[in-house]
Structure 1
Amino acid sequence: MKKIILSLTVIGILFSCGKTKKEESLSKIEIEEEVKEKFIPVHDTVIENAVIYEANIRQYSEEGTFNAFTKDIPVLKDLGVKVLWIMPIYPISTTKSKGSLGSYYAVSDYTKVNPEFGTIEDFRVLVKTAHDNGIYVILDWVANHTGWDHVWLKEHPEYYTKDKEGNITHTVDTDWTDVADLNYDNQQMREQMIQDMSYWIKEEGVDGFRCDVAGMVPVDFWENAVAELEKIKPVFMLAEGWEPELLENAFDMGYGWDTHHKMNDIAKGKANVAEWDKRMEQIDSMYAKDDILMNFTSNHDENSWNGTVKERMGDAKEVLAALSYLAPGMPLIYSGQEYDMDKRLLFFDKDTISKEKGVFFPLYKKLGKLKNTNQALHGGKNAASYKRIKTSDDTKILAFAREKENNKVVFIANLTKEKVNFILDDTKEEAYIDYFSEKRIHLKTGKGLELNPWKYLILIKE
């Protein structure tokens, strides 16, 4: 329920054209250019119709650098992306590291960049390029633990969790042996953590954070941290967690883990549409109306450890991608999904995404445009309504309407591997345009329809 407030003071400094002086966050590099509009801090309105993209810098290109990724930021804009989540960019500890390059999440310094990716100047160009394309940047923040090379281990061992013998330990009940667990009973550590987070907001111009295993860190820390960050400017906060209490005063958005798991089960025939309906009812009962959940068919954890979209979802992968956009919430694209990626990316070693456009690039572009432009798909703090449309076969056919301010979108999908003939029940007679074929179609009670396995319709009310 945390609110993003756009400061009138900030708005007052905007200007429309002309030469700019070097911006404060870019004062260390020589960048001057004409700008049509100065980028403004994150605010509720832009989040309503946003698509979020998770950037895996190491694996995104052969070079694995900030500069190589920055070149493609206009491509992300073309896909409707408005929030860019960048996986951890900080130096990685080598002590107890895994693989040849180690984990992004074994941080050795919270206020530096990994030289594997480039320089801080390169990162600043990335942020500016994103802002110039209307895209907000959030950094992956790892607050639960540090790598074993972090300076705190030598200078402040009291910041860490210790066993009964006094030895610093990795996080209990995990195999995260490459990281040392932080002790949130230590108030000085909490203060230093917030200072390090503030550096990226104040000095480097980022717009918020995706917070790793947020539910493993005390909620009151997050609430205090966000309160301090927003003294600098409004921020967007994404929790890697589902707990409703995280969204009360700290985070704007959480993970729709159970929604994702339900999608996987439907694709495998382990669940049907009735189970989807139960999930929607669960969301209504657990979360406040202005809470946001992130919808996804993949992310870095799912891809590397649980399988590619094709492995987990098979022939259902396209309809479930569409559902992630049409259902309430914010849809996620993980690096490579736009290029039909069908391999598990290595996590601790160098790997590379193949950038060959197939089915998903034009699909994501089309879905992104609809998400960006139609209020019926708003999924932020003032989300469009979600209303189930009954059919003659509600265990196989998912049909619902999203509606807001005279805008209406209907989604009808066959979530099975068999062809289904069905009839719409209790449906108001209205005219629609099929979003993909652009053909006109009327819906009404008693209308018979047929959908092939895993096929779907997106209908826009005229």
Structure 2
Amino acid sequence: MKFRNCLLMIFSMLLLHLFTGCSDDSGKGMEDLSPVSGNIGNEVVLYEANPRVFARTDALTAITTRLDEIKALGTTVLWLMPLYEQGVQNAVGSPYCVKDYKKLNAEYGTLDDVKTLVAEAHGKGMRVIFDWVANHTSWDNAWIQNKAWYTQDAGGNIISPEGMEWTDVADLNYDNADMRAAMLEAMKYWIETVDIDGYRCDYAEGVPHDFWQQAIEELKAIKGDELLMLAEGSEAALFADGFDLVYGWNFAQELQDVFAGKSKLSALYEVHNQEYKGIPAGKQRLRYSTNHDLAAEKSPLETYKNERGAMAAFVIASMLGGTPLIYSSQEIAYDSPLSFFEYKSIDWNSNPDYLSEYKQLMQIYKSSVTLREGTLKTYETGKVASFYYKSGDKGLLVMVNTTDEPLTVKAPIERAGDNVKNLMTGEVTTLPIALTLEPYQYYIWEKE
């Protein structure tokens, strides 16, 4: 047996030399990058629900009827985009133009409807967070009567947020103590009245840090450890304010650039590393291949070339580290831009195989102890993303072709020869020294 193993080792080394240069980046085909920050350490999976893709009216009830399907995607936290009454004055149809923080958009349903949704989601083991718009209100919000509550120009005129081109909304003045108190009271209202579990905070960097610190402390006093706060922003300082999750803006942009051929995977790994630098234990970056803003401009299929490209991008976004986000519609490969300003009918049964693949990926994500506890290391294998989680003698290797052409690459040399199980197919094999991945093909192997 020892003699046979020795022969296999010699044969493998010969093959290694034969395949030198088969990677599309042969000079770095097997070069290890420095280990990337930490493990996932996180069991949260977010599902962002845009009410306007669930029903033209009574969307809250429509979402409630789909909770089992949403749960089946591995969802642990349901994020509901703004449900509040929208402004009319100077409006463009955006749900982020809030007329009344304590009143629901009647098109979506009633207070009892949202209570039912939250209660049933809790019964299925999911937390629910609302979208919160703290930076600005509509021009016809009742708060506008308190002129001092808003930012004004030199002439005393209330203004829109500077530099943002959001003319449909008026910028709030956080130097005003009464406005801050009213904002915090409104945030408490939904937790106390509906029993939601926290907020995704829109344009969090447009609101002073000391407000977030106070708000999160007081909301936690009501909700306890179940409170979940997600900041739409990029500053690591938001973690110090008490946010549990902060967007990974730069990662999402770099991921698009990689699939567009504008950037190398080494740059994506570096962005990942930088976004995790100095983050407190237990905190996470949000990882996504699309969301409501991105999908409004291009569908994932347009951004990543086709269905397989969109899936490959999601595999990297969800498996490389962080908290994965699924935006309602991407799980069935919706193929057109999707405005969140207007209703759009979605056929949730239109792509069952794609949906099943999403479910399987998220099952792997949630069930893998190695992902949960392992240390992440990336490898440079040309245009194939390659990264490995190690936990004791266990390991998980992910390889993803980011291009629309077949690529033959060398496996990470320290992984070649491992006995591995393909977690998508169940097949057990020996990892070869070199392998060919079809366009946008990916593998998720668990070391046996």
Is it true that 1:416 corresponds to 2:403 in the alignment? yes
Q: Does 1:458 align with 2:448?
A: no
1:272, distance to aligned residue in structure 2 (A): 2.0
Q: Distance in 2 between matches of 1:47 and 1:224?
A: 27
8 Å Cα contact 2:385/2:399 also seen in 1: yes
| Cα deviation code 1:102-144 (max 9, x no counterpart) | 2111111111211111100000000011101111000000000
Deviates most, 198-207 or 420-429: 420-429
Aligned 8 A contact 1:298 1:309 in 2: yes
Q: Quick one: higher RCO (CA 8 Å, sep 6+), 1 or 2?
A: 2
With over 3 angstroms needed to count, the CA separation of the structure-2 counterparts of 1:157 and 1:270, relative to structure 1, is: same
- Number of aligned residue pairs: give it: 403
Kept in 2, the 8 Å contact 1:345–1:352? The answer is no
The 8 Å contact of residues 201 and 229 in structure 2, kept in 1 or not, is answered as yes
Residue 347 of structure 1: how far off its partner (Å): 3.2
Q: 1:330 aligns with which of 313, 323, 327?
A: 323
| Correspondence 1:79 to 2:73 | yes
Counterpart among 129, 149, 160 of residue 138 in structure 1? 129
- Counterpart amino acid of residue 250 in structure 2: D
Moved more, 221-230 or 49-58: 49-58
Q: 1:123 to 1:412 in 2, by over 3 A?
A: same
Aligned to 2:425: 437
* TM-score, structure 1 as length reference: 0.83
Change over 3 Å in CA distance of 1:404–1:142 after alignment to 2? farther
- Contact 2:248 2:275 survives alignment (8 Å): no
Work out the CA distance in 2 between the residues paired with 1:349 and 1:424. 47
Q: Choose from 275, 281, 285 the match for 2:267.
A: 275
What letter is aligned with 2:134? A
Q: Taking structure 2 as the reference length, what is the TM-score of the superposition?
A: 0.86
- Residue 344 of structure 2 corresponds to residue 351 of structure 1: yes
* Residues 1:169 and 2:197 are matched in the alignment: no
**1:421–1:431: structure 2 CA closer, same or farther, 3 Å change rule?**
same
* 1:395 equivalent in structure 2: 382
Q: CA RMSD in A?
A: 1.9
SS in 2 for 1:233: helix
1:253-402 correspondence runs (5 A): 253-285=245-277, 287-304=279-296, 306-315=297-306, 316-358=309-351, 359-378=353-372, 384-389=374-379, 394-402=381-389
**Structure 2: distance between partners of 1:330 and 1:284:** 12
Query: How much does 1:64 deviate?
Result: 5.0
Give 3-state SS (helix, strand or coil) of 2:414's partner. coil
Q: Contact (CA 8 Å) 1:146, 1:181: kept in 2 or not?
A: yes
Question: Judging changes above 3 Å, is the alpha-carbon distance between structure 1 residues 114 and 414 closer, same or farther for their aligned structure 2 residues?
Answer: same
Distance 1:377 1:105 in 2: 36
Give the Cα–Cα distance (whole angstroms) in 1 for the partners of residues 344 and 192 of structure 2.
Answer: 33
Match of 1:51 among 45, 48, 51: 45
Partner Cα separation in structure 2 for residue 387 and residue 289 of structure 1: 19
Match of 2:59 in 1: 65
CA distance in 2: counterparts of 1:66 and 1:407, whole angstroms: 43
Deviation at 1:326, TM superposition (A): 0.8
After superposition, the Cα gap between the structure-2 partners of 1:406 and 1:75, relative to the gap in structure 1 and judged at 3 Å, is farther
Structure 1 residues 58 and 424: CA distance shift in structure 2, 3 A: closer
Q: CA deviation at 1:207?
A: 0.3
**8 Å Cα contact 1:338-1:364 kept in structure 2:** yes
Q: Distance in 2 between matches of 1:355 and 1:245?
A: 39
Find the partner of 2:118 among 113, 117, 127. Answer: 127
Q: How far off its partner does 1:405 sit? A: 6.2
How big is the shift at 1:453? 2.2
- Residue 178 of structure 1: aligned partner: 168
Please state how far the C-alpha of 1:60 moved relative to its aligned partner.
1.9
Q: Give the partner amino acid of 1:451.
A: L
How big is the shift at 1:424? Answer: 2.7
Q: CA deviation at 1:203?
A: 2.1
Does the 8 A contact of 1:90 with 1:113 survive in 2?
yes
Match of 2:435? 449
Residue by residue over 1:243-282, the C-alpha shift from the partner in whole angstroms, topping out at 9 and shown as x without a partner, is 1000123211111111111111111111122222222332
> What secondary structure sits across from 2:76 in the alignment?
strand
Q: CA deviation at 1:451?
A: 1.2
1:61–1:369 distance in 2 versus 1, CA, 3 Å:
same
2:238 corresponding residue in structure 1 = 246
Please identify which structure carries the higher helix content: 2
Provide structure 1 residue ranges, at least 5 long, that are not aligned to the other structure. 1-45
CA contact (8 A) 1:310 1:317 kept: yes
Distance change in 2, residues 1:413/1:346 (3 Å)? closer
Q: Does 1:107 align with 2:98?
A: yes
Contact 2:386/2:398 (8 A) holds in 1: yes
Q: Which has the larger radius of gyration?
A: 2
Cα distance in structure 2, aligned partners of 1:108 and 1:325: 35
Asked whether the equivalents of residues 147 and 178 of structure 1 are also in contact (C-alpha less than 8 Å), the reply is: yes
